[in-house]
Amino acid sequence: MGDSQYSFSLTTFSPSGKLVQIEHALTAVGSGQTSLGIKASNGVVIATEKKLPSILVDEASVQKIQTLTPNIGVVYSGMGPDSRVLVRKSRKQAEQYYRLYKEQIPVTQLVRETATVMQEFTQSGGVRPFGVSLLVAGYDDKGPQLYQVDPSGSYFSWKASAMGKNVSNAKAFLEKRYTEDTELDDAVHTAILTLKEGFEGQISGKNIEIGMIGSDRIFRVLSPSEVEDYLQEVE
Amino acid sequence: MSIFEYNGSALVAMVGKNCFAIASDRRLGVQLQTIATDFQKIYRIHNKLFIGLAGLATDAQTLYQRLVFRNKLYHLREERDMKPETFASLVSAVLYEKRFGPYFCQPVIAGLGDDDKPFICTMDSIGAKELAKDFVVAGTASESLYGACESMFKPDMEAEELFETISQALISAVDRDCLSGWGGHVYLVTPTEVTERILKGRMD
């Protein structure tokens, strides 16, 4: 990683004990499009805005929510290309685990490995930290789980969380609305309402994306028409 | 003489009703000379997972140490015990890593999986898994063991009857093999307890 001229780390400590590059990475995340996740009693839902730079962009070709394994999905806030690299690495790690143990990787293990990769990029020569925060949603033997992974490599398990532009309003909204025994469908409605709070313009099935996983343990991204159905239920 | 016959060994595992038994002989030899009569070939990975290693003793010991290492790290990372099926996949992968310079061992894996369902398997020295529902055998006495188990085995035996059956099969098989014997070592595992017994057979 990095050729001989840059075998030193570009992420170095400031006198106040902060890693400024990571702070800047978090700023990049904070100016990215809002995304959020909610853990229900019987599943997890993640959602994001999908604002495209122009109406000429073919929105069907853009997919921000990705599947890492059949039972784990991920959404990001921040720099799209950086998230693609992480998705690629995580998928490979999940498959390597399966090849070794012939068992699907538990959510916590995959999150830990992804976080390790993100941390490595804060302490290696010639590289910069990733400009994304990830929300990982999965369902395994321990039940439904939602994790947030930051550019620094720290990860947290959340009952509900938001990232990106509207994060403080969104989190306040979620704090008010979250209940311990929410069902998955209610969680989807709450997610939509939270996105709507900070949404500029008219919300529709084409400019948001929703992914969910239930007790069937299959992660799916909803089609625009399915999103429209949920939107109508909310109205 | 084959490298697999250098030390001599006999291993067998059998499935019963919600329990399993794994047994080995106790001889460690150097070709025709007997060096030890209390050599351990079956190891406990955790209370519901045992592995027996037949073949070259030095490889068996090293392989066991590597597997314990991998299992301990797994336990620390995942905060749970490894299922027998998962462990078998791990052993298979570890053996195949050395495809062109293998460990001269044949493992026999026995454990209680989800809902305490008994699981047994064996594999060759490069990791080809062989799952069985009734019994698996390994070692220099394997051919005799196949015969003895085939005739003595019944499905769904209770713990005590399983112990008797596996002991008889082991003793009669090793008596036909000059490289294994000097008694037997039997582990009987149920969901609630692990019983370890030493058998006395022909001490030769």
pLDDT at B130 over 90: yes
Decide if B27 contacts B152 (C-beta within 8 A).
no
Taking residues A178-185, report their average pLDDT: 92
Nearest to A64 by CA among A73, A55, A72, A56: A73
Chain B contact present for A124, CB below 8 A? no
Contact call for residues A109 and B78 (beta carbons, < 8 A) = yes
Q: Min CA distance, A3 vs chain B (Å)?
A: 31
Q: Please give the pLDDT value at position A6.
A: 79
What is the number of other CB atoms lying within 10 angstroms of the CB of residue B107?
30
Residue in A closest to B87 by C-alpha: A101
pTM of the model as a whole: 0.89
* Percent of chain B whose predicted confidence (pLDDT) is above 90: 99
Note whether A100 contacts B83, CB cutoff 8 Å. no
- Asked if the Cβ–Cβ distance from B89 to A101 is below 8 Å, we say yes
The whole-angstrom separation of Cα A71 and Cα A212 is: 10
Structure tokens at A206: 């084409």
3-class SS string, chain A = CCCHHHCCECCCECCCCCEHHHHHHHHHHHCCCCEEEEEECCEEEEEEECCCCCCCCCHHHCCCCEEEECCEEEEEEECHHHHHHHHHHHHHHHHHHHHHHCCCCCHHHHHHHHHHHHHHCCCCECCCCCCEEEEEEEEECCEEEEEEECCCCCEEECCEEEECCCHHHHHHHHHHHCCCCCCHHHHHHHHHHHHHHCCCCCCCCCCEEEEEECCCCCEEECCHHHHHHHHHHHC
Cα separations in angstroms, A134 against A45, A130, B90, B93: 14, 10, 30, 32
Average pLDDT estimate for A33-47 = 96
Please give the Cα distance from B150 to B132 (Å, whole number).
13
Instruction: Kindly report the nearest CA distance between residue A103 and chain B, in angstroms.
Output: 7
Of A152, A154, A137, nearest to A38 (Cα)? A137
pLDDT level of residue A3 (50, 70, 90 thresholds): low
**Residue B122 forms beta bridges with which residues?**
B108, B130
**pLDDT confidence of residue B175:** 96
Is the pLDDT assigned to residue A1 strictly greater than 70?
no
State whether B83 and A109 contact (CB < 8 Å).
no
- A100 interface with B at CB cutoff 8 Å: yes
Cβ atoms B114, A146 nearer than 8 A: no
User: Which residue in A has a C-alpha nearest to residue B88's C-alpha?
Assistant: A101
Contact criterion met (CB < 8 Å) for A101 and B90:
yes
Task: Convert the pLDDT of each residue in B138-168 to its tens digit.
Answer: 999 999 999 999 999 999 999 999 999 999 9
* Chain A partners within 8 Å of B91 (Cβ): none
* Cα separation, B5 vs B177, whole angstroms: 11
Q: Confirm if A188 and A212 have CB atoms less than 8 A apart.
A: yes
3-state secondary structure of B195: strand
Binned at pLDDT 50, 70 and 90, residue A7 comes out as confident
